[in-house]
Amino acid sequence: MRLYRSMDLRASILVFSLFQLATSLVVNEVPGQVTLSNPKYGAFEEMRKLLKKADIIDGIVDDFTPKCFVSPSYNGIEVEYGSHFNTSDTQNKPAVMISCPKKSFKGLTLVLTDPDAPSRENPKWGEMCHWIATASSTGLKRVVDYKAPEPPAKTGYHRYVFLLLEGENGKLEAPDDRQHWGTGKSGHGVRDWAKAQGLRVVGGNFFFEQNEEQ
């Protein structure tokens, strides 16, 4: 499995206004908290290339123009476009940094999905919904509880994919089931759900994880 190189998306100034990204405030990240920041400009095309290379664009979501960076971190370790984590590292929901340079949105929603359940070679249970939360300047509001990744034994690496969606999110409907995001169709998931909710992808990130028993 190739370990994709990450981009340095860290910011020196954290900006904590969801819609205008105008007020500077340094915030300590805690599990489940969202921090909105103003990172280095550029690198969106590199993000898009990495998501395409991992078959996230096309395989999981339609092609899109990135407008935001999504930087989750588990126990202080950032998810960086293909980094590898152990199952023990991801038991608790991550802290999240969202960065949308010079952009404003009606609403932002963060999701986590596993398209490789039970394995990438046989994804008959995919996609699996692991988390849905709306993002605001006060934190993340649960729509679907965080479900820690639990890749089965001897199923190789799974892609765990964070996606940031923009659009009105005051009345989101949770999927009927985590498996297939309630569609009842193998290989279906967040693309179907986002379309039904009127949401569009504006950013993404991902990591690899496998069961220690292989």
For residue 22, name the pLDDT band (cuts at 50, 70, 90): very low
Burial 29-38 (b: 16+ CB within 10 A, else e): beebbbbbbb
Tokens standing for residue 79: 């998810």
Give bridge partners of residue 109 from the DSSP assignment. 134, 165
Contact 158, 210 (CB under 8 A): yes
The radius of gyration of the chain from alpha carbons, rounded to an integer in Å, stands at 16
**pLDDT band, very low/low/confident/very high, at 214 (cuts 50, 70, 90):** confident
E strand spans, the chain: 34-37, 69-74, 77-78, 83-85, 95-99, 108-114, 128-136, 139-144, 158-166, 200-209
Measure CA of the first residue to CA of the last residue in the chain; give whole Å: 14
Q: Set out the domains of the chain in order of their start, with CATH numbers.
A: 34-209 (3.90.280.10)
Does the CA dihedral 99-100-101-105 come out positive or negative?
A: negative
pLDDT at residue 148 is higher than 80 = yes
pLDDT at 4 over 70: no
pLDDT tens digit sequence for 32-88: 444 444 444 458 888 999 999 999 999 999 999 999 999 999 999 999 999 999 999
**pTM score, two decimals?**
0.82
Give the CA distances from residue 67 to residues 52, 75, 100, 102, 168, in Å, rounded to whole numbers and listed in that order.
16, 26, 6, 9, 17
Rounded CA-CA distance 130/146 in Å is: 6
Is pLDDT above 70 for 10?
Answer: no
